[in-house]
């Protein structure tokens, strides 16, 4: 299968919080998740909930919160049930601010230094 991603993803396995995104509402029903991998254009997340393709979501994790940045907003591109307790989702980022893009790009670069090869799932 041909790779369709514009940017390489790196494995980070970071704890995060995800929630349904509604521009008119504040974060509700925060759910623990794991960011499996991330790039400038998207991420793979794993959590207990299975979301629908096209569903808008937002997530944040400690590094972004400490930088004072807003949650990352994206849309579910695919979902796959791994077990009774876990689903994985491919998230495409939507409208990242220049600051957020820079922060994610910086983190990706830091994590890939010394790594043999950046991979994706």
Distance CA 1, CA 99 (A): 33
Q: Would you state the pLDDT for residue 120?
A: 43
User: Taking the domains of the chain in order of start, what are their residue ranges?
Assistant: 10-107
Name the CATH architecture for the domain at 10-107.
Beta Barrel (2.40)
- pLDDT tens for each residue of 7-34: 677 888 888 888 887 655 556 678 899 9
Q: 9: which 2 tokens?
A: 């993803």
Q: 89: which 2 tokens?
A: 């989702």
- pLDDT tens for each residue of 80-111: 999 989 999 999 998 777 887 777 777 777 76
Sequential DSSP letters for 56-116? EEEEE-HHHHHTTPPPEEEEEEEEEE-SSS-EEEEEEE-S--HHHHHHHHHHHHHHHTT-S
**pTM metric for this prediction:** 0.75
């Amino acid at each position: 299968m041909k790779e369709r991603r514009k940017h390489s993803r790196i494995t980070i396995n970071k704890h995060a919080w995800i929630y349904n995104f509604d521009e008119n509402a504040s974060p509700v029903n925060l759910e623990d998740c794991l960011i499996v991998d991330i790039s400038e254009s998207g991420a793979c997340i794993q959590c207990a909930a299975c979301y629908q393709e096209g569903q808008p979501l937002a997530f944040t994790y400690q590094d972004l919160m400490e930088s004072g940045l807003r949650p990352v907003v994206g849309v579910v591109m695919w979902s796959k049930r791994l077990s009774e307790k876990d689903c994985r989702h491919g998230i495409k980022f939507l409208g990242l601010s220049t600051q957020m893009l820079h922060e994610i790009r910086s983190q990706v670069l830091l994590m890939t230094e010394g790594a043999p090869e950046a991979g994706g799932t």
